Amino acid sequence: MTSETELSSWTVQEISLINTVELFRLKPHILKKAEARFDSMRTSLSRYCEESGIVFPEGTDLVKGQIARGENHNCFPFVSFDLPQKFSKTEFYTFRALFWWGHYLGFSLILKGERLPQFAKRLAEIQNEEEWSSVYYSTSPWEWEMNDENFKSVSKTDPQIILSQIEEVGVLKLIRIYPVSAEAFADLDWEKLGLRAFKTFSTITR
């Protein structure tokens, strides 16, 4: 049955949006650009994984990676790239680059498994180092909206709280973001920033 809301008069904003066509013409091109930037990260990330000495979980993809595209994450399109990548029922070790339309470019490391307490302890030990001042953490692997409920500042949170939350849930996600609204966004070097983020985050897994 059609609701009264659906039959209401068009608003000025709705009419304006109906007449906006450039967005839909350019959208595929924009998403392709995001994919290309992620694809350019593949070689440098793979090389670093091989040379870093990190002990990855068995079966972790260190070479191919996976680029995914979606149309509706909380109403907005996105492109993601996972490398290294390991998702199983008992273990996560995945570095994810995410371009989320209208939100941010983000780099995250998602961890789960028997070594997680060791990783959490290491995070608590180095959380006040300068490189961690712009890093946030979450205990949900699937939430990406940046708000106080989903993410906490690594450097500004009591280490005991970090440890207890990770122990309770059994998952840790670290993230650093670059808002698309920032003036500097257009000039960001995605490959350089992605590699930098992985080097920082993976410190706790050594």
Domain count, the chain: 1
pLDDT for the residue 2: 58
pLDDT for the residue 4: 59
DSSP characters for the chain? ---HHHHSPPPHHHHHHHT--HHHHHHHHHHHHHHHHHHHHHHHHHHHHHHS---PPTT-B-SS-EEEEEEEETTEEEEEEESSB-B-SS-EEEEEEEEETTTEEEEEEEEESTTHHHHHHHHHHHTTSGGGTT-EEES-SS----STTT-EETTTS-HHHHHHHHHHH--EEEEEEEETTSGGGGG--HHHHHHHHHHHHHGGG-
The pLDDT averaged over each successive group of 10 residues in the chain (206 residues) is 71 94 94 97 97 96 97 95 98 99 99 98 98 97 95 98 97 99 97 98 97
- Distance, CA of 86 to CA of 192 (rounded, Å): 22
Model's pTM, two decimal places?
A: 0.93
Q: In CATH, what number is assigned to the domain containing residue 108?
A: 3.30.930
Domain region containing 140? 4-205
